[in-house]
Amino acid sequence: MDVELNPHEARVLGVLIEKALTTPDQYPLSLNAITNGCNQKSNRDPMVDFSEAEVRVGLQGLLHKHLAGSGFPAGGRVEKHHHNARANLSLDVHELAVLGELLLRGPQAPGALRTRASRMQGFEDLEHLGRTLDSLQAAGLVRRLPPAPGSRAESYVQLLAPDLHLGEDLIPDTPSPDSPSPGTLAPTPTAGVSTGGGSVPVETRLTALESEVASLRRSLAHLAEQLGEPLSD
């Protein structure tokens, strides 16, 4: 898989997937509707407060990566936006729902994941979810995380935006004696910036931030080119 998203693009894509499956009569979405979906207080981790400008940059990044499209409905004056994830990532609707849920809420155990993803697409049972997760792992879109100490439940994290839930994605499969326990890595309160508990090394967080800034600058440059305006330094 050669597609990688920054946290803004990931949240926008998650919202487009969610709304396409849960409110198809209101889909495709306007910029305002996507912004409201990104900043929604339920079914989101981390919670964010994106401006419309940030969402527009995220949309431009997805457009450049062929994961979103935009247009004006017949007779409409407001531009609407849709995702192309199912076609361009070769996913079925169940895989799409799981990926969308992981983008919006981060790593989850199968039981919780099945319940939450069922808002978008129903699963017959945990075996059905397991087959879906196996397929996503084979495609390089999902990775299994080992159970935390004292727990028997593994969890799964999406890999489309590896910096989105940085703390959870750094949980090692086999902890070394010198590495922190998986239970000490808390979800990030802001995407890819801080882990709250300080378990992620500063160098790792700086690298993630630099990667996100570089990705945002590329998206801004692409948007500026489309608008015919030079991008100031």
Residue range 133-152, pLDDT digits in tens = 999 999 999 999 999 888 88
Residue range 83-119, pLDDT digits in tens = 999 999 999 999 999 999 999 999 999 999 999 999 9
Question: Domains (ranges, CATH) in the chain?
Answer: 7-227 (1.10.10.10)
Q: Are 182 and 215 in contact (CB under 8 A)?
A: no
How much is the pTM?
0.73
